[in-house]
Every structure is written in structure tokens, then in C-alpha cells.
Structure 1
Amino acid sequence: MQDSVAPAFRLLLLRHARSGWALPGQRDFDRALDDVGFAEAELTAQAAADQRIRPDLILCSTAVRCRQTAEPFYRALGEDIAIRYLDPLYTGPTSVYAELIEAYASRTSLMIIGHNPMIEELFHRILGDERAAAALANGYPPAGLAVIDFTARPRTGTAWAATLSKLLIPSPEEAEKP
């Protein structure tokens, strides 16, 4: 449930959609979305657009599967949204994700498109293990989008106070339709 008062800061955490396994000789970085993954990304992007969920800025891992996940959001939410592709979202630990949130907390809203386990660890760090596990008992799914509202802008050295406003998870049945 969402309050009528605008949050101090809104974070959109998006795990990349389902990808195929690396082909022989292929780098993990170059793994692409599979057919279900492309459908998942489209479904989540459309659900976000339908609910008028729109970040001021998207920070996206440079990995192929994350870039492919970002594309439907760019189309569905508006091509005027700035997207920054950052290597540290591919190579860095959860602490890098937290540092980026703090660095961009002057914005109204920020979307991060990244990888597990970092996305799931960050989700737990922000909400606390009990609330995070209650929301996502089976882990953070591919193409899952958490909308997290903060009562104050996240800053280094302070506890982050936030609540889960929305959770968009594409239906496996919808994603697997031909």
C-alpha cells in the first residue's frame, strides 16, 4: 500500500530477466536473455508503465543481459530517461550498489538494473531480513522489480528507513506464451 505523501527518495531495484547459459567459449558478461527473459522484461516494463512507475535515472550493469532488460523499460517509460551503463554493477559487490544509491540519492527516484546475489542482498539490507523474506520467500526472481520508498534520503553512516511500496514479478505463464 502506498501513502499519498511522496517519499523522500524512491529506489527501483530490477534484477535482469532470465538469461541463457553461457555457450562454450562465451564470457559470462556476454550471456543474452533467452526467449522467456525477453518476455519477462517486456511484461515487467509494461506493468511499470501501466502503474506510472518511472525513475529519474536508470543505472544499468554493462552486461549484455542487463542492457537487454533495460531496453523495454526505456521504450515503455520514455526515451527521455537517462541511462548510465556502469561496469561496477557487473563487477562490484553489494557495497558498490549501496554506494551508488547514496551517490545518486539527490534525485527523486533511481532504478538500478543489476545481478544476483547483489540485488537480493541489497533488498535484504534495505528492508531487513524478516520483511525481505516475507516479500520474496523464494528469492529475488528474474525481472523482479521492487519499488522501495525511503522516508529520508539514504546517506553514508545513517540507517536507511524504507518500505516496500510495490513488487512487480512477471507471471511465468505469461512469459512462456508463444
Structure 2
Amino acid sequence: MVSETLEQVGQEAQRYPYTLLLMRHAQAESVGAEGDRSRPLSLLGRQQASRMGRALTQERLIPDRIACSGALRTRQTLERMLPDFGDGPSVDYRESLYSSGLQAVWDELGQTKADEHRLLILTHEPTVSAGAQLLADTESAESSLLQLDLGMSPASIALFASSEPIAAWTPHSARLLALFGPRDC
């Protein structure tokens, strides 16, 4: 998904004081014991989540705060990533990120404190691709924007950056630096 290496993307992100990692959960089983909300990660999904946690740590993209949907597959994705992050990030589990779609993403942005420079929002499709399209400014790579039209694949991340605090972001105000996933790591 990325045209440059993940290392280059990580270096570019370090030049901005505020970054957002908008992530789709890793691959899940097609059914859950108690319906959609209880769908667990597949074996591949567990591998994808671990790979993404290692990659974010390696590229120094560890979040200050994580907002995670309450669905089982998102919680399991995060559980596989957290050991790589150490004690740094605070974690908020939000049922709204499962049930309220794009509004929940905007709520998380608005609740972000100025001293939280890197936010990870872990949620579902189509919320992640719609949110990414809405956030991306006009300087964002057209190829990445076109890819968002197809949706984001499991365990993929849209990486945004800005010089403005995250709580001040409005539609089309953040630079989409890259889309990347497990295959890029």
C-alpha cells in the first residue's frame, strides 16, 4: 500500500507534532458465538495484529492514547499489539466505536488532550475508510485517497499528521501520509 518504505513513512511522521493512526481491526472469523460483536480474530488476524504492533514500535509510532471499539475482534487486535507498546499508552474501550460509526471517531478526536501527540483509533470498516477520506487534506496523495474508495483491508492503518493539536482537526485538515498494512511490514 505504501509507495515508500515504512521506515520512510515513520521518519516523515516524526516531523509532525501530532499524528493519528486510524486502524481497522485484524482479520476476524466470519461468525461469532453471540453474533457480529463477538467475532474473534482468525489465526491470520492474530499474526497480522502482532506484526502491526512490532512495526509501529520499530518506526517509533507508539500512541500516547488508544481508543478501541468494544467488539471482541478489535479488543483482540489491541491485545496482540499492546505488549510491543510497553507501559506508554492509555487505553479507552468505547462501545461507540462499534455502534456509532463516524461520529464516534470525531468524538475521539475532540476529546484528545493537547499533550496527547499520537492517537490510535482502532475500529471497523466502513468507518475507518470514511473517516480517513473525511480527514484527508488536499495535499494528501491521490493514490491513497483512491485506495480508500475500495475500503481498508484488515489490520491496515491510515496515518495522518498535522501541526495542529488533534482536538482542533476539522474535515480535510490533516495530511494523509500513508496507508499501510501487514504486508508492508
TM-score calculated relative to the size of structure 1: 0.84
Q: What one-letter code is carried by the residue in structure 2 that aligns with 1:29?
A: R
Structure 1 residue 48: Cα displacement = 0.9
| Residues 118-173 of structure 1: per-residue CA shift (max 9 Å, x gap) | 1110000011597343454642111002221023224569555211234331129x
Q: Structure 2 vs 1, CA of residues 36 and 162 (structure 1 numbering), >3 Å: closer, same or farther?
A: same
Paired residue for 2:50?
Answer: 42
1:169 aligns with 2:181: yes
Shift of 1:82: 1.2
Instruction: Give the equivalent residue in structure 1 for 2:128.
Output: 119
- Alignment partner for residue 89 of structure 1, among 97, 105, 123? 97
Q: Residues 34 and 5 (structure 1 numbering): CA distance in 2 closer, same or farther, change over 3 Å?
A: closer
TM-score norm. by structure 2 comes to 0.81
Aligned match of 1:72: 80
Structure 2 residues without counterparts, runs of 5 or longer: 1-8
Give the length in aligned residue pairs.
172
Segment of structure 1 superposing worse, 114-123 or 147-156: 147-156
1:151 corresponds in structure 2 to: 163
Stretches (4+) displaced over 3 A: 1-6, 128-132, 134-138, 154-160
Distance (whole Å) between structure 2 residues aligned to residue 3 and residue 101 of structure 1: 21
Q: Note the alpha carbon deviations across 1:52-79, whole angstroms, 9 max, x for none.
A: 1111011101110000100122111113
Alignment-mate amino acid for residue 69 of structure 1: T
When the two chains are superposed, the root-mean-square deviation of aligned CA atoms in Å is 2.6
